[in-house]
Structure formats: C-alpha cells, structure tokens
C-alpha cells in the first residue's frame, strides 16, 4: 500500500510538472522578450530627458558667469552645485542604459534620479541669483548706467586709478543689496554718483579742453600774451566758457563742440594778430609806409568790388566805416529781396500760357487731320464706286447706239 502510494505520488508529481512547463514557458519567453523592450524604451526616455535638462542648464550656466558682480559667493555655490550634478551625469552620459540603474549601495534612487536631485539644488541657487539680479538692477539702475557710460568714454584708460577706485565702490553697492542692506545701498549710491559725475567731467575736459589749454599755454610761452594781450585775454575767456559748459552738462556734446570751435577760432586770431604785431615791430623807422599801403590796398580792393569806389583820399578808419555801411546796405537789400523776381514770374506765366495755347493748337490740328483723313477715305471710296458704275454702263451699252447711252445714263446719274 505504501509502495502504491509512493508510485501514485511520483506519477502525479510528474504530470503536474509537465503541465506547469507547458503553460508558463511561453509567457516567460514573452516576458523575456517584451520586458527588456519596455524597460529599454523607458530608460531611453529618461536618458533623453536628463540630456535635455543638462543642455538647457549648461546654457544657463554659461550666462551665469557674468553675474559675479551681484554676489560672488552665490555664484561660486551655484557652480559647485552644477559640478556635482555634472559628475553624476557623466557617469551615464555615454551609456543610456545606466540612467535607470541604482546610483550606489548607499544611496536611494537611480543615476537619473540623483542627477535630477542635484539639478534641483542648482535651480534653487539660480533662482536666488536671478531674484537678486532683478532687485539690484532696479535699485542701482542709475549707477549701472553711469558705469557703462564711463566705459564708453574711456575713463578706465584716461584715469585708471580713479576709475579703479570708483569700480571698487561700485561693487560694494551690489554687496549691500546682496546682504539686504537696502538703506546703505541707497545712501552709498548717492556718493558714488557724485564721484562718478566728477570723473565724467574730468574725462570730457581732458578730451575736449586740454588740447585747447595746451595751445594757449604754448602761445604764452612764445610771447603772444605780451604781443597781443587783448586777443590773448579773449582766447582765455572763451576757454573758461568751455569749462563752464562741461561742468554744467558734460553730455551736451553739441554745445561743447560749439564752444570748442569758438576757442579754436580765438586761438587762430591770436596767432594772426601776434604775427602782424611782430611784423610791425621788426620794421625800421621810416619804413612803415609799405605796410600801411598794403593795408590800404586791401581796403581799396573791397571798395572796388562793392561799388567801384575809391576812398583812398580818406583816412583808413573812415574807409573802413564806409565799407561797413555799404556792406550792411547790401546785406539788407539781399535779405529783403523777394525769392522770385516779379518780372521773372510774369514771364514764366506768359510762357506757360503760350505752351498751353500750343497744346490746344496741337489738339485742334490732330482733330482736323483726322477729319481730313476721313473725308479723303470717303472721297476715294466714292471715286471707286463711280468707276464701277462706268464699267457697268460700258458693259450694258449697245455698240453704236447713242440713244441707249443717253437714256441709260439718266437713271444712273440719278443714282
């Protein structure tokens, strides 16, 4: 009985084993073929998402390099967090299948999940930096614009030490904002802007005024101040006006350029007057007449050009006054003269009328020509009809019968 039970159990177990193999093996094969495919698709999707995040943040990190002005320490923390994230990403960047593998025995989550966690830390620091930038840009807008303008006009090259001190104060303003010391930032900004404006004025003076000042200094060394003191003093006064214009508004370039041109004119005038004075000084006694005659000839040439006058029988000062009066009268005449001469306007009007009449004549001529052409065509047509009628008469008229000709001709003439 025990043997029978043992055999029965063996047969039953074998049958059961065969039954299990016949029903589960295809599903296992299917599972073996389908499951890796599904897993690989999910892995590839996760890998692509991590790669896209990496590339997006890489661009943001490149932009963040220029934000050290706002908070140097915060930027360092940002890049340290980014380096940690990159370390994880590099482990599976060249092997997508590794993205869903466990990161380590001592850490929960996969490589991709750990990369996301570290990117979250990067994002938090980045958001803090952007918020700080927005606040500083608004609060320190005037200082930012002023510093940019100083760079445009070359303050860093012309006054390097002053510019560097100012740049140090400029960076401190952002440090105040980073520490949330808004009141200190506002107070210090007022001081910064005052110093920056002084540097701006110094740059404009050095660029536009210093060359003129050097020219006037050179004229003084060459003795023009003693030779032509009146003209020299006038050039110095015009130089002071340029300085005043720059101090009033160093960015009004048009006004500054006008003032600079006026000073340059006075400098050239000083040179001219000084040279003339020196020329007279070098003339020996009794030899002044040629110089006086030269000046008089210049006035005479002007008088001849104006109205053919000869004023040489009058003192030179009187000649100058007469020429000045004539010039003013000529200028007044030119100014009051109408833009269009009335006589010329009348002639132009008559010319327009003649041209209009000619145009009408051309139109009438064209109309008459068309009528003549029509009449000629009609006449030619009638002549052809008459010729045809003559041919018909000649055809139907009996030979030698003059009476038929006369009778037949009447109705045809009637036609």
Please write the tens of the pLDDT for every residue from 57-110.
Answer: 999 999 999 999 999 999 999 999 999 999 999 988 888 888 888 877 666 789
From 47-61, 156-170, 256-270, 317-331, the region with the lowest mean pLDDT? 317-331
| Close Cβ partners of 205 (under 8 Å, ≥ 6 residues apart) | 243, 246
Residue 43 in this model has a pLDDT that exceeds 80: yes
Check residue 141 and give its pLDDT: 96
| Close Cβ partners of 234 (under 8 Å, ≥ 6 residues apart) | 266, 269, 270
Check residue 102 and report its DSSP letter. Answer: E
SS3 218: helix
Residue 19 in this model has a pLDDT that exceeds 90: no
Check residue 59 and give its pLDDT: 92
Output the average pLDDT for the chain: 79
Distance between CA 269 and CA 290 in Å, rounded?
23
% the chain with pLDDT above 90: 47
Mean pLDDT of 33-61: 79
Distance between CA 160 and CA 163 in Å, rounded?
5
Check residue 96 and report its DSSP letter. Answer: G
Distance between CA 261 and CA 245 in Å, rounded?
13
Check residue 394 and give its pLDDT: 57
Check residue 151 and give its pLDDT: 94
SS3 110: strand
**170 half-sphere exposure, CB direction, 13 A CA radius:** 21
Residue 159 in this model has a pLDDT that exceeds 80: yes
Check residue 221 and give its pLDDT: 94
Q: Is 196 exposed, middle or buried (0-12, 13-18, 19+ CB in 10 A)?
A: buried
Check residue 27 and give its pLDDT: 23
Which of 219, 266, 272, 222 has the alpha carbon at shortest distance from 240?
266
Mean pLDDT of 357-363: 63
How many angstroms separate the Cα of 336 from the Cα of each of 120, 145, 332, 339, 343?
A: 82, 51, 6, 9, 16
Residue 18 in this model has a pLDDT that exceeds 70: no
% the chain with pLDDT above 70: 72
Residue 36 in this model has a pLDDT that exceeds 80: no
Angle between helices 160-178 and 111-139 (to 10 degrees): 120
How many angstroms separate the Cα of 391 from the Cα of each of 230, 246, 399, 406, 408?
A: 117, 110, 14, 16, 13
Do residues 139 and 182 lie in contact, with contact meaning Cβ atoms separated by under 8 Å?
yes
From 42-46, 63-67, 191-195, 363-367, the region with the lowest mean pLDDT? 363-367
Q: Which run of H or of E encompasses 388? A: helix 342-396
Check residue 9 and report its DSSP letter. Answer: H
């Amino acid at each position: 009985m025990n043997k029978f039970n043992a055999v029965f159990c063996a047969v039953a177990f074998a049958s059961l084993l065969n039954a299990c193999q016949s029903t589960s093996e295809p599903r296992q094969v299917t599972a073996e073929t389908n499951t890796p495919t599904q897993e690989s698709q999910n892995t590839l999707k996760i890998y692509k998402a991590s790669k896209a995040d990496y590339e997006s943040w890489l661009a943001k990190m490149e932009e963040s390099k220029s934000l050290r002005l706002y908070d140097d320490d915060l930027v360092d923390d940002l890049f340290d967090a980014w380096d940690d994230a990159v370390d994880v990403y590099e482990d599976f960047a060249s092997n997508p299948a590794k993205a869903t593998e466990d990161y380590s025995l001592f850490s929960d989550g996969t490589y991709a999940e750990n990369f996301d966690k570290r990117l979250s830390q990067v994002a938090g620091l980045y958001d803090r930096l952007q918020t700080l930038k927005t606040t500083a840009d608004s609060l320190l807008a005037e200082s930012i614009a002023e510093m940019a303008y100083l760079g445009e006009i070359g303050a860093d090259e012309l006054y390097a030490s002053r510019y560097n001190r100012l740049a140090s104060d400029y960076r401190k303003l952002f440090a105040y904002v980073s520490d949330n010391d808004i009141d200190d930032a506002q107070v210090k900004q007022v001081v910064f802007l005052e110093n920056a404006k002084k540097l701006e004025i110094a740059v404009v003076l050095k660029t536009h005024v210093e060359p003129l000042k050097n020219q006037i200094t050179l004229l003084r060394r060459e003795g023009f101040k003693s030779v032509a003191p009146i003209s020299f003093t006038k050039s110095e006064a015009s130089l002071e006006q340029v300085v005043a214009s720059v101090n009033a508004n160093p960015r009004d370039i048009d006004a500054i350029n006008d003032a600079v041109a006026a000073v340059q004119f006075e400098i050239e005038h000083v040179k001219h007057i000084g040279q003339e004075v020196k020329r007279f000084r070098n003339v020996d006694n009794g030899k002044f007449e040629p110089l006086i005659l030269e000046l008089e000839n210049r006035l005479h040439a002007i008088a001849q050009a104006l109205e053919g006058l000869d004023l040489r029988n009058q003192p030179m000062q009187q000649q100058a006054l007469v020429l000045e009066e004539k010039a003013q009268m000529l200028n007044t005449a030119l100014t009051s003269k109408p833009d269009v001469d009335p006589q010329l306007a009348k002639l132009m009007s008559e010319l327009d009328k003649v041209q209009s009449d000619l145009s009408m004549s051309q139109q009438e001529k064209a109309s008459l020509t068309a009528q003549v052409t029509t009449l000629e065509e009609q006449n030619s047509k009638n002549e052809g009809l008459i010729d045809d009628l003559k041919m018909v008469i000649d055809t139907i008229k009996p030979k030698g019968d003059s009476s038929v000709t006369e009778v037949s001709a009447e109705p045809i003439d009637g036609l």
